[in-house]
């Protein structure tokens, strides 16, 4: 493997990753002796202390071991995992945390974000081919399957979150942004009848699937709710009494609460508020903000099981509502 230090992390971390990658790709096999500290120090032009710290880190994680504290050898198989997500959010952090805590320390997870950029997404996938034992990927689009993904062995790929496209032969754990939303709203439809009007706030440029608007509209029509769809909450938006707001962007949740406070209106008392995707601060503001979405802890557990068991999984997680005092 070609290897050069860069500025993305410490030399200790990069050297440890280099050795772990060599083990993951079988360049170094279980039981095989690792080059000496002096050899690695000379090879990579780093201090013996840097090499020692890198080997100590790998030893602590159970990847390598030592005989009499001198001769190091590969102690166990190691796995490299690519976790490619769309963008950072608190619930994506939950997914990552559960995945890390569920896998052995010898497993190395590389976390990347593609920011819904197709070019960046394709570059990350192309550069990752052959480097990882498993690929856990959120596609950049809910309805378009990336051609780049077809270059990955199907048995190594798990599709996350998005998935309104042909996934035949692939493993996936996704959420249904259409029927899932409709069914979840049905569980609270009697509680919603006290509201004069249903408002869905979803920006037309937001990456949340726009098809959710159709699911929301169908729910309202089927249950005879008056409704409207807003592109965003602006400074000119007036929060209306006895209206129910279903909100995608957490920034809009904050705007609604702030604007309501300015006008003397409280969620759950004067209007209803339901936010998409759980966030820790929903538990503590305004006596609690209700949320709707999937269980990201469960997605993390299923992803970890896929990595460990090498078994195919094809499932949609249910969309559920966590009731608090906001409606």
Residue 324, in any domain of the structure? no
User: Of 33, 58, 74, which residue constitutes the final position of a domain?
Assistant: 74
User: Of 58, 74, 90, which residue constitutes the final position of a domain?
Assistant: 74
Beta strands in the chain (DSSP E): 64-67, 71-74, 79-85, 107-113, 134-138, 157-161, 171-175, 197-201, 227-230, 243-247, 272-276, 290-293, 314-317, 320-322
- Residue 134's nearest CA partner among 327, 312, 326, 307 is 307
Q: Pairing mode, if any, of strands 320-322 and 290-293?
A: antiparallel
pLDDT over threshold 90, residue 31:
no
Please tell me whether residues 109 and 38 are part of one structural domain.
no
d(CA 216, CA 226): 11
Query: Residue 261: its pLDDT value, please?
Result: 93
Residue 263, in any domain of the structure? yes
The CATH number that applies at residue 123 is: 3.40.50.2300
Please tell me whether residues 17 and 57 are part of one structural domain.
yes
Residue 38, in any domain of the structure? yes
Q: Where does the pLDDT of residue 326 fall: very low under 50, low under 70, confident under 90, or very high at 90 and above? A: very high
Please tell me whether residues 288 and 203 are part of one structural domain.
yes
Please tell me whether residues 125 and 192 are part of one structural domain.
no
Please tell me whether residues 161 and 148 are part of one structural domain.
yes
Query: Residue 63: its pLDDT value, please?
Result: 82
What percent of the chain stands above pLDDT 70?
A: 98
Please tell me whether residues 161 and 301 are part of one structural domain.
yes
Q: Taking the model in full, what pTM does it have?
A: 0.81
C-alpha pair distances (Å), 103 with each of 251, 257, 284: 33, 39, 31
d(CA 153, CA 157): 7
Query: Residue 2: its pLDDT value, please?
Result: 58
- Residue 18's nearest CA partner among 5, 8, 29 is 5
CA of residue 250 relative to chain centroid, distance: 16
d(CA 150, CA 138): 14
d(CA 24, CA 307): 14
d(CA 220, CA 113): 35
Please tell me whether residues 183 and 278 are part of one structural domain.
yes
Could you please report the per-residue DSSP string of 78-110? -EEEEEEESS--HHHHHHHHHHHHHS-TTEEEE
Query: Residue 83: its pLDDT value, please?
Result: 98
Query: Residue 69: its pLDDT value, please?
Result: 62
Residue 199, in any domain of the structure? yes
Tens of pLDDT, residue by residue over 226-285, are 999 999 898 888 999 999 999 999 999 999 999 999 999 999 999 999 999 999 889 988
Overall domain count for the chain: 3
Please tell me whether residues 53 and 109 are part of one structural domain.
no
Please tell me whether residues 70 and 92 are part of one structural domain.
no
Please tell me whether residues 210 and 281 are part of one structural domain.
yes
Residue 4, in any domain of the structure? no
pLDDT (mean) for 106-125: 94
Query: Residue 124: its pLDDT value, please?
Result: 96
Tens of pLDDT, residue by residue over 185-230, are 999 999 999 999 999 999 999 999 999 999 999 999 999 999 999 9
The CATH number that applies at residue 23 is: 1.10.10.10
User: Of 24, 55, 74, which residue constitutes the final position of a domain?
Assistant: 74
Please tell me whether residues 266 and 137 are part of one structural domain.
no
Weakest-pLDDT range from 25-34, 36-45, 77-86, 294-303 = 25-34
Please tell me whether residues 143 and 192 are part of one structural domain.
no
Could you please report the per-residue DSSP string of 19-79? HHHHHHTTSS-TTPBPPPHHHHHHHHT--HHHHHHHHHHHHHTTSEEEETTTEEEE-S--E
Residue 154, in any domain of the structure? yes
Tens of pLDDT, residue by residue over 35-77, are 889 999 999 899 999 999 999 888 887 888 887 666 888 887 7
Segments forming the whole domain that contains residue 20: 11-74
Residue 89, in any domain of the structure? yes
Residue 327, in any domain of the structure? no
Average pLDDT, the chain: 92
């Amino acid at each position: 493997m070609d290897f050069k230090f860069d500025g993305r992390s410490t030399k200790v971390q990069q050297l440890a990753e280099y050795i772990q990658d060599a083990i993951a790709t079988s360049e170094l096999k279980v039981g095989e002796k690792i080059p000496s500290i002096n050899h690695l120090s000379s090879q990579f032009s780093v201090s013996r202390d840097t090499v020692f710290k890198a080997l100590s880190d790998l030893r602590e994680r159970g990847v390598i071991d030592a005989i009499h504290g001198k001769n190091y050898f590969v102690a166990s198989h190691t796995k490299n995992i690519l976790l490619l997500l769309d963008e950072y959010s608190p619930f994506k952090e939950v997914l990552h945390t559960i995945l890390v805590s569920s896998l052995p320390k010898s497993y190395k997870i590389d976390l990347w974000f593609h920011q819904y950029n197709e070019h960046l997404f394709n570059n990350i996938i192309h550069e990752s081919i052959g480097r990882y034992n498993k690929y856990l990927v959120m596609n950049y689009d809910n309805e378009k399957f990336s051609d780049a993904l077809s270059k990955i062995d199907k048995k190594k790929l798990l599709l996350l979150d998005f998935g309104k496209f042909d996934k035949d032969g692939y493993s996936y754990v996704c959420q249904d942004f259409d029927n899932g939303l409709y069914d979840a709203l049905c569980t609270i439809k009697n509680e919603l009848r006290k509201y004069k009007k249903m408002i869905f706030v979803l920006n037309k440029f937001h990456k949340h699937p726009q098809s959710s608007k159709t699911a929301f509209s169908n729910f309202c029509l089927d249950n005879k709710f008056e409704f409207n769809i807003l592109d965003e909450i602006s400074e000119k938006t007036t929060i209306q009494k006895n209206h129910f707001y279903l909100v995608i962007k957490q920034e809009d949740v904050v705007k609604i609460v702030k604007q309501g406070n300015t006008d003397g209106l409280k969620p759950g008392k004067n209007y209803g508020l339901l936010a998409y995707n759980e966030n820790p601060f929903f538990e503590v503001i305004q006596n609690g903000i209700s949320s709707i979405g999937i269980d990201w802890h469960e997605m993390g557990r299923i992803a970890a099981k896929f990595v460990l068991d090498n078994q195919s999984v094809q499932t949609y997680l249910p969309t559920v509502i966590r009731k608090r005092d906001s409606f």
